[in-house]
Amino acid sequence: MLKTTRTNFIKTKASELGFSFCGVSRAEFLNDEARRLDEWLRRNYQGKMSYLEKNFDKRLDPTKLVPGARSVVSLIYNYFPAKDLATKGDLKIAKYAYGEDYHTVVKDKLKLLLKSIHDEIGDVHGRAFVDSAPVMERAWANRSGIGWIGKNSLLLNREMGSFFFLAELIIDLELEYDGAGKDYCGTCTACMDACPTEAIPEPYVVDGSKCISYFTIELKEEIPAAVEGKFENWIFGCDICQDICPWNSFSKPHHESRFEPKPELGAMAKQDWIEISEEVFHKLFKKSALQRTKLSGLKRNISFITQIREG
């Protein structure tokens, strides 16, 4: 089968499975990203996320994840909700966490795509990744032409903004490679200006240790008093730099039933969050990404924002 035929098959099948965009890049060492990652770590922008300091070579060389890798297939899966639950002024959670955990939902799709490749093309070796393992997904997505890395360090797409998940297949199959995505941020600094914790110190660089998502999800200890009053009611994750981005005016609601929030989540008022019980937490977030912070972490975040201490 010709490279073009293989590539077209993969892109067509990806579309059938619900992926909005699919691009392909050559599996090779990421030289430019190596320098940037080294500098980012040197500045301690990873904060307490020590896992980002590990597997440096694996992050930059896909052949260390999949021996004999030839291609990186990058994919976009939309999660923009029909209704924004964070508009009524109560406590807020990031849009990506409204429904079932994306790791599971998108990984299921990737497994089907990989199976289709095996069935149609033959004995292809590879692995599927959804924000898992040391993969620099935004760099690969940019190289594959499905978007560019914005000043808030997220991947942007001209047709749908940035409210989507990235996923990859790293495979030992030669394919037709797409060109890199062009930067359309221009002189806009909306994301940088809007960040209340000043987590974007310069264009295209995010200080992870100052990001609201870091404080409310990654940080396991007490949130520092220095950022008190700066979270704008975000208790899990943060969408500020995305909500303000002009390109997200092109976002359209997803069609994934597993991302739909439970009706009870949309009805949660500030007092409901403050009084949330173990039972309600597990009912609302049984298969959600919110399980990552656990009820204790969520209560810590709520307490920090509302200044209502337990006990």
**pLDDT tens-place string over residues 2-33:** 999 999 999 999 999 999 999 999 999 999 99
pLDDT at 169: 98
Q: Check whether residue 22 and residue 155 sit in a common domain.
A: yes
Query: What's the average model confidence in pLDDT over 145-161?
Result: 98
User: 308 pLDDT band (50/70/90 cuts)?
Assistant: low
Domain count, the chain: 2
State phi, psi for 268 to the nearest 5 degrees.
Answer: -65, 125
Q: Check whether residue 196 and residue 288 sit in a common domain.
A: yes
**Per-residue pLDDT tens for 177-214?**
999 999 999 999 999 999 999 999 999 999 999 999 99
Q: Check whether residue 296 and residue 223 sit in a common domain.
A: yes
Percent above pLDDT 70 for the chain = 98
The answer as to whether 115 is a domain residue is yes
* Domain range for 217: 190-306
The lowest-confidence range among 3-12, 29-38, 88-97, 276-285 is 88-97
pLDDT at 310: 53
Q: Check whether residue 211 and residue 296 sit in a common domain.
A: yes
CB atoms within 10 A of CB 88: 10
The answer as to whether 181 is a domain residue is no
User: 88 pLDDT band (50/70/90 cuts)?
Assistant: low
CB atoms within 10 A of CB 126: 25
Amino acid letter at 69?
A
Sorted by sequence, the CB contacts under 8 Å of residue 119 that are 6+ apart come out as none
pLDDT, greater one: 266 or 77: 77
User: Sign (positive/negative) of CA torsion 181, 182, 184, 187?
Assistant: positive
The mean predicted confidence, pLDDT, of the chain is 95
- Please give the positions annotated as active site: 131
Give the burial string for 40-66 (b: 16+ CB within 10 Å, else e): beeeebbbeeeebeeeeeebbbbeebb
pTM of this structure: 0.95
**Per-residue pLDDT tens for 208-252?**
999 999 999 999 999 999 999 999 999 999 999 999 999 999 999
User: 89 pLDDT band (50/70/90 cuts)?
Assistant: low
The answer as to whether 261 is a domain residue is yes
pLDDT at 311: 44
State phi, psi for 148 to the nearest 5 degrees.
Answer: -130, 160
The answer as to whether 65 is a domain residue is yes
